[in-house]
Amino acid sequence: MDSKLTTHVLDLSKGLPAKGMKIELWAIAEQGDHSFIKEVCTNKDGRVDVPLLQGDDLKPGEYELVFYVGEYFNDGANDPNIRPFLNKVPLRFGIRSNEEHYHVPLLVAPGGYSTYRGS
C-alpha cells in the first residue's frame, strides 16, 4: 500500500466538488505547538493535485487540516462585510502508521460540515 495523506472537498449545497478551496496542513506537537507544513488549493475535482504527505514525509503524529470554507462560499459573490457562519474548518486527526493511506474528506455546505476517514 502506498503510504500517503490525501483529502478532497465536496460542496453539498451545489452537489459538486469544491473547486478552488484553500487548505492548510499543520503538524501538532505534543505540547500543542503548531508547525505549518503547506498550503494547497483544490482542483476542479475538489481534490489536490498531489498527496499532502507521502512516503518518508508521512510520520505518525497529530495533524490538522484547515479548510477555508468561508472564503470559498463568499468568493466575491456575497457582501464581504457579512461574516459567514463557517469560516475556517479545522480537522485535527492522528496518524498511527506511516504504512497506510489516510484520506480525510470534507463534505461542506454554508451551514455545516461532515467528515470521516475515507479510503
Q: Give per-residue pLDDT as tens, 53-79.
A: 999 899 999 999 999 999 998 865 556
The confidence score (pLDDT) of residue 76 equals 53
* Sign of the C-alpha dihedral computed for residues 115, 12, 100 and 31 taken in this order: negative
The Cα–Cα gap between 44 and 55 comes to 25
Which residues are CB-contacts of 77 (< 8 A; sequence separation ≥ 6)? none
Average pLDDT for 34-57: 96
φ, ψ of residue 111 to 5 degrees: the values are -110, 5
The Cα–Cα gap between 95 and 81 comes to 38
Which residues are CB-contacts of 16 (< 8 A; sequence separation ≥ 6)? 10, 46
